[in-house]
Homo-oligomer: A and B are copies of this chain.
């Protein structure tokens, strides 16, 4: 079995894989929190809604220290399944990939070096005023993307933001994409109804109809989006004229793709890196979202946790699926060093998992 699956545009994807092999990427991880994530039933990125403020900082602490500092243990879903940051950490560690964290808006700051671009934690989208100061944060993020592109061969852009698929849904709809029932979830039973209901409330508060902001991407974020989106859009736009940019994540990255397209009408050099669990997910449709925007490469790390220990096996049942750029970091690690394949990666993930639970 292959280590990297191709899920869209076979020709471009194959060429891209060959182009990136052996190169030195930077892994950038944008983290943020919102009040949207605290709506009951929206997010499984934390054992209970209020703790989602700690999930993104804890995730990046795991990347730097191999353990969390702002919480004890590691972030888990309400069912106790560990954060995908465990996968990301293992991949970055194995391939010695440089990691930069960007604070898009947090209430709790991580105990690691992180980049500031002026962002603040997001409000609930049901207010219709989700994100403040998008223009300033966008501009600084573009600058950051330009600097990263001067030193990296390519960029892998991961995220940790609880509730991110709901804000992705809202932004996709505002940009005129048919997205209902298509965004993914960290839960095995994707709560589409709660998400659609939340987004409908948001649009009502913001006095918006679907597609109304298709030419105003930053306004869409400021009204019904999240802080990660403005930073990711800015960094990608700043970097993509110089180097390939991998949006590392699930359906949230379709929203970023749509935002980039609506901002600069050019998605050259942009592609998506995700996990097998996202592309095999029957409750969402990443490919269907992406192809409404552009026929770009989608790569997926072919991780297989079927024979692994209990906590990790749950990934095969549809829990978690993706996050903290787990799929993209895995792809980047496999591409960077010949000796890294999905088996080597799995061993490291299991090893790190054992260390963490003991």
Contacts and interface: CB of A to CB of B under 8 A. Distances in A.
A252 B114 CA distance: 26
Interface stretch (A13-21, A94-102, A262-270, A302-310): A94-102
Interface residues of A, number: 29
Nearest to A102: B113
Interface string A132-167: 000010001101100110111000000000000000
B113 A151 contact: no
Quick one: which of A102, A148, A151 has the most chain B CB within 10 A?
A: A151
A97 B152 contact: no
A114 B113 contact: no
Nearest to A144: B113
Identical subunits present: 2
Contacts of A150: 24, 96-98
A74 to B, nearest CB: 19
A115 interface: yes
Quick one: which of A102, A118, A144, A150 has the most chain B CB within 10 A?
A: A150
A147 B115 contact: no
Contact of A147 (B100, B140, B147): B100
The 5 closest A-B CB pairs, nearest first, are: A98-B150, A113-B144, A98-B151, A98-B147, A151-B151
Interface of A: 24, 26, 64, 96-100, 102-103, 109, 111-118, 136, 140-141, 143-144, 147-148, 150-152
Given A102-B113, A111-B140, A114-B116, 13 more contacts: A24-B150, A64-B143, A98-B147, A98-B148, A98-B151, A99-B147, A100-B147, A103-B116, A109-B116, A111-B136, A112-B143, A113-B115, A113-B116
